[in-house]
Each structure stands twice: as structure tokens, then as C-alpha cells.
A and B are shown apart, each in its own frame.
Chain A
């Protein structure tokens, strides 16, 4: 963590700062799950109907995604995206993320959900 990164995160995140809500609590679990998916092939559907497929490089707590070797699914409609090889996607513009089923441990995810639920109710 350096000044440079300070700056970077400043530029990339919502300048008004995160609004701590229950949503951000639930986000931790999703964030945690996405952390395990780095290196996997994912398809990210954006709210503007752009669907981008690529290798997930990293995720942060705002669910911003960094993906490599990207390919737009509907290339005929989005020819301007053909030259783009990697992308940083702001978390707030994501509609869906398609993830490989084999890379998700469903039972563990259930357990994690239970843990979170219990820790939240315990508060």
C-alpha cells in the first residue's frame, strides 16, 4: 500500500465514499467467493447489455473486476470492442457474472452464508 495506490483507489472508487449498509455486509461473502475465482474464465454482463468474456484477474471489495484476454460475446454489435484486450469494470455497472460451476464449492458457500447470517443476527 503506497501513496500511489492511495491515489489509485481514490480515483477508482466512489469519491463520496462507501455507504456502509447491510448490502456491504453481504458483499463480503460475494467478494470472498470471487476471490477464489481469479484465473477462471468468466462472462460479465453489464447493465448496458454488453457481455464480456475473459479471464478474471482480480476483484476488490466493491466488486470491481479486472479481466484479461477479453472477448465481447456479440462482436457484430460492438465492433469497437474488438481491439480491447483487457478491461477494468466498475462494480456498479455489472448486471450478471457467469462463473464456472466447477469452481464453486456449493456446500462451502452454504456454510459461509450460514456463518454470515449467524454473525449478523448475533450482532
Chain B
């Protein structure tokens, strides 16, 4: 068998095979023969239901996939079966499928062939009926295209039933015949069957004399030819007149519901009394079409009509309307639906009655399947037609509106026909495609397929699908990827989701359905394979054995040489032991140090603490990798978190109480998470004593961009206290951070190529710092109380050279964060009062701010905080040289050339001006005066240069310097507005 268990042998090859299960997929081989009983009918219906799907689906993917709709079929309304299929005595059950009976009885006694063929001949007309039934239900008028398969799934079951029937027969079979081989019997049966039943059951049959077996291809080709030349069977434009009596079942005033389920009954009743040969469908418009076609004349003339003549056609029409809806009825034959349809018919009939006769006539002249639609659309478009008072009885003929209605209807019908034609072409194309591909049928042998299957499965089997597809999975989760079924949910998580989805929406479309089944099928196969691998891995390993029985996958290739993993470990241990001893000792010391420092809160002085070398670059990287692994594990753990009692549970969850198992899982999960978090915290080395090394190990970790990026991610998994501690550590050792220590490189305006690399690096590091640690600090500060902000600032001022730190971008950012948070706390406290800082806290804050302020302004170095000032100071002849005289223009270019980023200096100044504004807001009156004093020159310089610039350029900004003057004024205003001043007030 192939991968998914469907048979791929050609029909012609199948003849030689034993009939068994392959026959289930064979459209030519009809194992049910001519037997008509309910079970066969059921099987047929099921098969048709399957056949109504696309061809991919005909192959049943395993019995679980069966939707069970067939079971819902109504079992009632079988009274007319006899009418339909002719009287059926027990004695004429087909014997053509009698393997079980004969063999089990030990009586290999098939009758002679003449008897056999008679057994076949007898049920044949009934077969035809069934074919007609099938055709009419399934694709009543669209096309009589061949159906692949339509297999009764339980043909074996049917066979058993027949067997029972046969046993019941008071038959002379038991005594008849001599033993024959199975092949002989089969061959004989095949011949008989081919003779009896022209192949492809739902095909229009060949004329009686052309009774040679046709292959599927031949039939198809013929069909195509017929369809392309002749009128499409889909459009029986003129119904052939039906001379026969209208069936009692239809005109006898039975409730329409009866007709619904009893479609075949009505049909067969129509055909009753005809010669069996009349059923031969020499024309592609078979009896079903004809049978449903309305012929007003004959119905008018009917005796005993319970309805008035206009009513008659309506009633006649009803069965004709059924075919398009019949598949739906098959899908769910719930009684309610039947009733609803009955109502629908009744309504339709009423509508038809209400329309004027002209319209009525034209509606009834349409091909039956269009009549309902046409009627409805006409009524919708011309509601006035229904009002009898609008009709002019005197006019006799059709009114204008009626004519319009007819015209309208005809147009509609034209559109409908065009639509059908389009569908038809589409189908044709599809059939062509399938036919062209059929060339390749049977190209691969069974073992070829097995081989491919093995390879494919080995690709699919993986111990951890999540790890393999980690990137794509998370990527699509983050960026919103295509929810293609192929990529969709991971194999691991798929089953639960899919079953839920399956329950939720029954009405998946065909392709989704097929895709779903396929996924499930693949999943099952992979699962089986995985289990087998595990089993073999557990069972077959022998110490030191060469080779072993194992199933390989790409992830777990077959090992040619099985070396016990214990042995390799031992060897590794030995080689590592020396190195381990050294590093182990160091670790022990470190651990001890860390332990000692814990009690003292990291405030040990360097004097009694042991010094240690700072972490080397490789050490840092190694630790960072470990940290990343931990963080990844934590993130993974968080994604797989078991449902907790607090988390919202699904409504169908089992009540409130958690089961023991869940609680266990939750506990295990929690303990695992706690362990990982502890490891993370320890490895971050935040709690090691401050003076243990310079820089502190934690600071060393932050020295690489990797470490900077790690911190926010790590902090997400840590408690708020730990976050606070870590960031306090950053503040306390701010001076030692690489971004502060090497910040002077950024001010270096020389074009020294030897430094440019270092400069680019520190630029990158600063950027990363601003994108990772500063936001973390901001988040922490945004919720911090006054006490903590004061403490942070105090630590910042105490432990660092404030001027030096404030000359760096990170330092400015941190100071601004503290100041603005404190300010908003003070203002919030004054307005709301409840949550604000206490008086003591405010006093403390004022003290600390005073300290910061005095430090910043002590040596007249405040202007040096501005990058532009520092850049100018680095110029060879000082600022004055460039600003004085008429050198303005060239000075600018000189500055631009030398500083590289003269204009950017203004941009870089902005954060500093912001900091100044924050200082000004927090400052007292005296402090503000000091501030203005200190910055006076800087302010004036900015304002003057801006004004000069604008006068020189006649108020029009020169190209290439649009930002300059405006930005300078804006920067100054940042501070001046904080002091309730404006740059416009400054006159030069």
C-alpha cells in the first residue's frame, strides 16, 4: 500500500487482483452487484456522499476520519423501494460476491456459468434504477461525469449479508459443482460481470449491443467527446415529451416531505411499467431529467387531479426541483430539515399560483432545476405581479409588466446557463488534468513508495519539533506570519487545537477538511514512528555492542558504532579533571565571597574584602552564553506554563478544583522556574561585593552589547526587588561602565583612523545602552517612590564623579530620569496629597539635590556638559577665533570639517538642555540664579549665533543648515521656559 493507504493501481490491473478490499476503490468493479436491500442502498448513499467530495477525499483516510453523516440518513420511507427496484424476493439475491459463503461452508459450489449469468441478468434493471438514482441525486443535471470511486465502505459487510441470505436459500447450490480454484471463479465472475454491467456505473450506458468492458479512460474520453460536440447534458433545453402516466406517488396528494426522502421512489414510479431496456440511457439526458420535466399538456389532461390545472404543474415541478438540493438533504436528513423543505415547496407552489399565467407558463417552460430560482427572483423583482388586483382581466394578454417579468426571467436564466457552462468548463479542465496525470499511475513500485515514505517520515520525526522550528515559529508569532496550514501550528501543539476547531466549526470547506485529515494522518504516522524509536532505544542498547537495531531519523541517525555513553563521559571527565580542579577552586572562593557579601548587603569596604581580577573578555562571554541559555529556558518555561487556578480557564474546564495531576504539574513547573530564576540571579553576579574587582563582575557583564541586551530580558524574570538591586548596582558603579569610561572617545574629533574603530564601537555600545538599560531604568523609576529615587540619586552622586558621568549620554539620561521622576512626585504630592512623599522625604530630596547641584556647578564646569562646548574646546584656536570677525562662514565649515559633526553637536546638546531644564525646575531661587550664571555664556552664544545666522542669510535658511538656528533657539528655550523666560526676550 502507499503512504496513505489508498490504492494506486490502474483499473485494468485491478481485474486480475482478488476482489478483497481493493475493490472498494474501484469504480468499475461493483461488488454490490445487483443486490437491492437497505444496506446496499445505505452503502450507495454513503459512497455518494463521499463521491460528492473532491477526488482527493474519496480515499478514506482511516475510519476515524469518517464524519458519520451517512449514519444520520433517514431509514424511513422505504415503502416504495419495491416500486423502485422491482419486487425483490429473497431468492434472487446476487451470488456474485459469494466468496465467504462458499468457502466457509466448505462447499466450493458455484453454479455453472449460465446460472450465474442469469443471476446477474436479473437484477440488472434494478441496477439501472440505482444508477439513475445516483446520477439524479448527485449531479442531476450538471454533468454525468464519471465518479472515481464512490465506494461503499462496508461492502464486506454487505457481502456477509448476502452470505446469510444465501444460506437461507433452499438452494441446490450446495450440491452443485465441483471444486474450482479461486482464480477460475474470479475470472468467470469477471466475465459475467462485464457482460452484465457495462462499466462505470454512473455513466450513460452503452447501447445494449456494445457490451464490451470499457476502461475508465475510454469512458472518459468518450464522455469528453460527447460533451464537447453535443449539447451539454447539463442543459436540457427542451424536455422530451413524456408519454407515460404520471406516477401515483407524486400526484396522489402525498405530502411533499415524502418525496424528499423518497426521491428514488418518485423516479422509479415514473418509470414504472416500462421495459427495462427503456432505462438504457442512450441519450445523455437520461430518464431522470426527462422524468422530472414538466409537460403541461399531459398534466392538464390528468384525471383525478386533486388540484386545479394551474396547480398541477406546480406540483409536478416539485420533484424536479429536488435534485439540486438532494445532496444537501443527504448530508443531513434530519426531520426538521425535511419539514423546512416541505414548507419551502409549499411556499414555492403558492408563489407560482399567484403569478400571472404568462409568467407561470414561462417559468414552467424552463429546465426544472432553474424553476425555483427563476420564480423567486421574478417575485422579488416584480412584487406587484403577485397582486391579482393589478392584473387586467380585460386585457386578456399579458400586461406590460408581465412581459417585462418574463424578459427579466429569461435574462436571469441566460446568466444561469452561462454560469453552468463556466462550471462545466472548469470541470472539463480538471478532468483533463487528472487524465493527463493518469499516465504516471503505477510508475513507482510498492517498495519505491515505501522507500520515499521512510525518508519523508524520517524528516518529520523529531524529538522536539519546537526546537527545530524555533525561529520561524517565534518569528511568525512576533510579526504575524501567514497562517498557512503547512506552517500553522506546530506538530506538538496541533492536535488539541485542531480537535477544538473541528468541534467549533463543522463546516470546514473541503480543502480544509482534507488538509486537516492529512495533518492528522501524518501526525499519527509520526507519532507511531517516534514511539517505535523510543522503544527500540530503550530495549536494544547493549553495552559495547557494535551496531544495533534502531530506526533512524535525520535527527537521530543510525549509529554504526555503539559506544557506551558512560565510557565517553569517563574519558572526558579525566581530561577535564585538571582544568576543573583549578576553576573549581576559584569558583569556591567566589561562592564564599558571594555568600559573605549577602549578609552585608554588598556594602563591604575594599579594605577587608578580597580583591580579584576583573572578569576577562572570554569569561564574560561564556557567562553571558550561560545566562542566555537560562533566560531562554525561562522563556520557554513561561510559554509552556501549566494552567493555574488564577489564570482564566476554558469554560468547559472541569469545574473549579484542580485535579491532583494538574497541581503536581504546576508545582513541578514552579519549582523548576524558581531554580532557573535563582541560577539566573546568581550568574548575573549582582550581589557580589562592590569592591571585589574593578570593574565589578556585573559591570563587566554589561560591557558587551550582548550583556546590555540581556539585562532587560533577564529582569523580566526577576522579582521587583531583584530588579531594583540590579539597577542600583548599575547606578552605584556607573563610573566604571564601559559607556562612561570610554565616553571621551566620542568627543574626540580627530580623524585618527586608529581610533575610529574604537569610536564606532563605543558609539554602538552607547546606542545599545540607551535602547536597553535606560528604558529598564525608566520603567523602574516611573513607579518608584520618593525614597528610592532619593537613594538612587544619592548613590549616583556619592559614588561617581558627577561631572565626568554627566558628560556622557547615559549619565545625562539617568540624571534626567531621576530629576523628572522626583519632580512629578513632588507635584503629584502637592496636588493629591495622599500618595505623595512625606515631608521628611522631601527634605532629604532637597539635600541630595543640593549636593548634586553644587557638585555640578562647583568648578564652573557646567557648560562642559554640552557636547558642542567640548567639541569647540578641542579646536586648536579656541571658539572665539571662529566666531569672531567675518570668518563666520568659513569657521562653520572648519568646525564642520574638524568636528565632523558640528551640526549634530546641537542635536546632541538637546538632552543636556533637557537636563538643565530639569535642574532648573527642581532648583531653588538661588540655585536657579547660579544656574543661569553658569550657563549665561552658553545661552548667549546660542542665541547670538542663531540670530546672526538668520540676519546673514536674510531670514531665509540656507540650504544644508535648516536645523541649526532653530534648533539652537529651541534648545535654549528648553531651559528658559523652565525659568519662565523666552529666548525672544534676550536682546543682543
Contact = CB atoms under 8 A, between A and B. Distances in A.
A18 B554 contact: yes
Given A1-B3, A6-B453, A108 B557 contact: no
A35 B554 CA distance: 19
A1 B470 contact: no
Contact of B471 (A13, A29, A118): A29
A28 interface: yes
Contacts of B437: 4
A36 B444 contact: no
B444 A20 contact: no
A112 B468 CA distance: 9
Given A6-B449, A32-B472, A13 B455 contact: yes
B14 to A, nearest CB: 16
Nearest to A110: B628
A115 interface: yes
A2 interface: yes
A115 B632 contact: yes
Contacts of A9: 452, 456
Interface in B470-508: 470-476, 478-479, 481-482, 487
Contacts of A17: 451, 455
Contact of A10 (B448, B467, B487, B554): B448
B889 to A, nearest CB: 40
Interface in A1-33: 1-4, 6-7, 9-10, 13, 17-18, 20-21, 24-25, 28-29, 32-33
B444 A7 contact: yes
B487 A35 contact: yes
A61 B632 CA distance: 25
B464 A118 contact: no
Nearest to A33: B471
Contacts of A29: 468, 470-471
Interface residues of A, number: 35
Contacts of B558: 20
Majority SS of interface residues in chain B?
Answer: helix
A13 B454 CA distance: 13
B632 A105 contact: no
Interface string A84-123: 0000000000000000000001011111101110110000
Interface string B522-533: 100000000000
Given A1-B3, A32-B468, A32-B470, A114 B459 contact: no
Contacts of B541: none
Interface residues on B, range: 35 or more
Nearest to B474: A108
B452 A33 contact: no
Contacts, number: 103
A20 B440 contact: no
B453 A115 contact: no
B2 interface: yes
Contacts of A109: 471
B629 interface: yes
A116 B632 CA distance: 11
B494 to A, nearest CB: 15
Contacts of B553: 20
A35 B470 CA distance: 11
B4 A2 contact: yes
A9 B444 CA distance: 12
B709 interface: yes
Count chain B CB atoms within 10 A of each CB in A20, A110, A114 and give the residue with the most. A20
Contact of A115 (B444, B467, B479): B467
Contacts of B456: 1, 6, 9
Interface string B612-639: 0000000000000100110010000000
Given A20-B557, A24-B554, A36-B475, A2 B449 contact: no
Contacts of B780: none
A7 B443 contact: yes
Given A32-B472, A33-B471, A119 B709 contact: no
B736 to A, nearest CB: 26
A116 B468 CA distance: 7
A105 B709 CA distance: 14
A4 B437 CA distance: 9
A115 B470 CA distance: 8
Given A1-B522, A10-B448, A118 B629 contact: yes
Nearest to A121: B629
Nearest to A116: B467
Nearest to A105: B475
A33 B472 contact: yes
B476 A36 contact: yes
A10 B456 CA distance: 10
B518 A32 contact: no
A3 B2 contact: yes
B56 to A, nearest CB: 7
Nearest to B56: A2
B800 interface: no
A3 B2 CA distance: 7
Interface string B1-45: 011101010000000000000000000000000000000000000
B716 to A, nearest CB: 14
A94 B316 CA distance: 70
Count chain B CB atoms within 10 A of each CB in A3, A32, A109, A116 and give the residue with the most. A3
Contacts of B452: 6, 9-10
B471 A7 contact: no
Interface of B: 2-4, 6, 8, 56, 437, 440, 443-444, 448-449, 451-453, 455-456, 458-459, 464, 467-476, 478-479, 481-482, 487, 518, 522, 552-558, 625, 628-629, 632, 709
* Closest A-B pairs by Cβ, 4 of them: A20-B557, A112-B471, A32-B471, A32-B472
Given A3-B4, A17-B455, A115-B467, 14 more contacts: A1-B518, A3-B2, A6-B453, A20-B552, A20-B553, A25-B554, A28-B468, A36-B481, A109-B471, A110-B628, A111-B470, A111-B474, A112-B471, A114-B625
8 contacts: A6-B452, A32-B472, A35-B469, A35-B472, A35-B487, A38-B482, A108-B475, A109-B471
